[in-house]
Amino acid sequence: MGDSVGRVITGTGEGRHMGEIRESYLVAAESAVALLREPAVAAAWSKPSALNEFSVAGLAAHLAHQLVRIDSLLDDGGVPGEPVPLIEHFSRSPWVQAGLDHESNVGIRQAGEAAAADGPAALAAKAEKLFERQRAELPAQPRDKVVHLPWSGWSLRFDDFLLTRLVELVVHSDDLAASVGVETPKLPASVIDPVVELLARLAVHRHGATAVIRTLSRAERAPATISAF
Task: Map out the domains of the chain as residue ranges.
Answer: 2-187
Q: Is the pLDDT of residue 13 over 60?
A: no
Q: What pLDDT, in 10s, does the model give residues 22-80? A: 999 999 999 999 999 999 999 999 999 999 889 999 999 999 999 999 999 998 766 78
Q: Which fold has domain 2-187?
A: Four Helix Bundle (Hemerythrin (Met), subunit A) (1.20.120)
Q: At what angle do helices 56-74 and 120-137 cross, to 10 degrees?
A: 30
pLDDT in tens, 74-120: 987 667 889 999 999 988 877 666 566 666 667 777 888 888 899 99
C-alpha torsion angle, residues 51, 160, 28, 143 (rounded to 10): 160
Angle at 184 between CA 169 and CA 26, to 5 degrees: 35
Q: What is the pTM of this model?
A: 0.86
